[in-house]
Amino acid sequence: MRYGAEWIASPRRLAGVMSGTSLDGLDVAVADFWHDGSRERFSLVGWHHVEFPPLLRLRLRRLHEEPCSIAEVAELHWELAVQTAESVRQCCAALGIQPDSLDAIGVHGQTVYHNAARRDERGYGIGLQLGNLSAVAQWLGTTVVGDFRSADLAHGGEGAPLVPLFDWAFLRSEQDSVATLNLGGIANVTILPAACRPEQVRAWDTGPGNLWIDAATELFFGKRCDEGGRIARAGRLVPQLWEALLQIGFVRQPPPKSTGREFFSRSRLQELLQQTLTAAVPAEDVIHTLTRFTAWSVAENLRLFGGSCSRLIVSGGGAYNDFLLELLREEMPTLEVQRSEAYGIPVQAKEALCFAYLAYCTLGGRPGNLPSVTGARRSVVLGVVAAGAGWKV
């Protein structure tokens, strides 16, 4: 376990495991990372998506919505470790490699609470990720890095977003100003001015990504998501709902800012729907209006705070929503909207890849947060490292 400069001097193979606010499951990406003298490079070995068992999804959702016993929190902490280890095993099996041949695994963990709002009052925001890192490391025989957000929160940062360092390392351009957009449960953007240095990167959450679209699609159509945006495309705008959505102050609040499932909750959505819908409103109109809101809130954030970008590189599950991408192009006609696949990054694996990279940075002794992005007082090496087989000396 000679981590630091020595460790990062050799090419390394890492897995990253991401589970987002949509609570749908785990994305695993395996990639090689190295430095070619001028820039850092990565090469994706493969990726894999594993659905959470329905009961686990339900239990995680309940954790957000009602009081629970500490026994249930502990049970989920371990059940998520089981799922995490199993997802890495499955991904490795599909790639024909052994989990303990990985140099390390970066695990985001399941965010069950995130509240950076009170950081001005007490000097730091707080958050909580579940998923026992030590158990994953022991079961797979590999070093595991996780809890990436706490160190940034501890220094007064929002603890999010953390993808921007990855964006800077691999998606910045010497000629163009580039924006990246991740459409997970929450949507976030990174702004990379042409030839920017890390301290010039800006990034923030813009509002809901798929969270409310998925919730309404489940509510009205009994489906987990609006595939390709086909339902939304068939609907029309519901003016009262639209007006109510425009009142949500978070969208136009200046960055740095981050949000989560607590704020864009199901109960808030249900309240909005109850206040604005009449019995005559077709269900697809609701999905249409929520999809427009996601597109508008992203566009509004780029217009207000994004400077002049020439490219928007889209990733996350929402990048599969063709109608949403059309709306983005409509909202921002001067922008070239691309999926991240064009850069060797499968849209659904980008965040998993990012946490593999953040683990690479931590074990290399390098900071992983960008204070310009999170608002932290300093840049620091992120995370905690769970001893695995790599720990043996």
DSSP-H helix ranges across 235-311:
239-246, 266-276, 283-305
Q: Which contacts (CB < 8 Å, 24+ apart) does range 120-125 have? A: 123/156, 124/153, 124/154, 124/155, 124/156, 125/153, 125/156, 125/157, 125/158, 125/159
**Per rule CB under 8 A, is residue 105 in the interface with a second copy?**
no
Q: Which stretch binds a second copy (CB under 8 A): 30-38, 44-52, 143-151, 242-250?
A: 143-151
Interacting residue with a second copy among 12, 13, 49, 155 (CB under 8 A): 155
**Per rule CB under 8 A, is residue 134 in the interface with a second copy?**
yes
Cβ atoms of 356 and 364 closer than 8 Å: no
* Whole-angstrom distance, CA of residue 119 vs CA of residue 99: 38
Residues in the chain: 393
Q: Which stretch binds a second copy (CB under 8 A): 24-32, 240-248, 330-338, 383-391?
A: 383-391
The nearer residue to a second copy, 325 or 376, going by C-beta atoms, is 376
User: Burial level of 122, CB count in 10 A (0-12/13-18/19+)?
Assistant: exposed
**Per rule CB under 8 A, is residue 55 in the interface with a second copy?**
no
**Per rule CB under 8 A, is residue 67 in the interface with a second copy?**
yes
- The two structure tokens encoding residue 308: 């002049």
**Per rule CB under 8 A, is residue 124 in the interface with a second copy?**
yes
How near is the Cβ of 78 to a second copy at its closest, in Å? 4
Interacting residue with a second copy among 91, 92, 133, 241 (CB under 8 A): 133
**Per rule CB under 8 A, is residue 384 in the interface with a second copy?**
yes
Interacting residue with a second copy among 38, 69, 175, 278 (CB under 8 A): 69
Interacting residue with a second copy among 11, 35, 53, 78 (CB under 8 A): 78
The nearer residue to a second copy, 1 or 94, going by C-beta atoms, is 1
How near is the Cβ of 14 to a second copy at its closest, in Å? 17
**Per rule CB under 8 A, is residue 127 in the interface with a second copy?**
yes
Cβ atoms of 88 and 97 closer than 8 Å: no
**Per rule CB under 8 A, is residue 117 in the interface with a second copy?**
no
Q: How far is the CA of 22 from the CAs of 34, 80, 245, 317, 334, in angstroms?
A: 32, 15, 20, 10, 31
CB burial string 124-148: b at 16+ within 10 A, e below:
bbbbbbbbbbebbbbbbbbbbbbbb
Beta-strand pair 384-386/144-146: antiparallel
How near is the Cβ of 365 to a second copy at its closest, in Å? 4
**Per rule CB under 8 A, is residue 219 in the interface with a second copy?**
no
Cβ atoms of 156 and 120 closer than 8 Å: no
Interacting residue with a second copy among 73, 93, 94, 195 (CB under 8 A): 73
* Whole-angstrom distance, CA of residue 83 vs CA of residue 92: 14
How near is the Cβ of 234 to a second copy at its closest, in Å? 37
How near is the Cβ of 233 to a second copy at its closest, in Å? 36
**Per rule CB under 8 A, is residue 10 in the interface with a second copy?**
no
**Per rule CB under 8 A, is residue 304 in the interface with a second copy?**
no
User: Burial level of 9, CB count in 10 A (0-12/13-18/19+)?
Assistant: exposed
**Per rule CB under 8 A, is residue 387 in the interface with a second copy?**
yes
* Whole-angstrom distance, CA of residue 290 vs CA of residue 212: 7
Query: Which residues bind to a second copy, rule: CB under 8 A?
Result: 1-6, 63-64, 67-71, 73-75, 77-78, 81, 112-113, 115, 124, 126-128, 132-135, 137-139, 147, 150-151, 153-155, 262, 362, 364-365, 380-387, 391-393
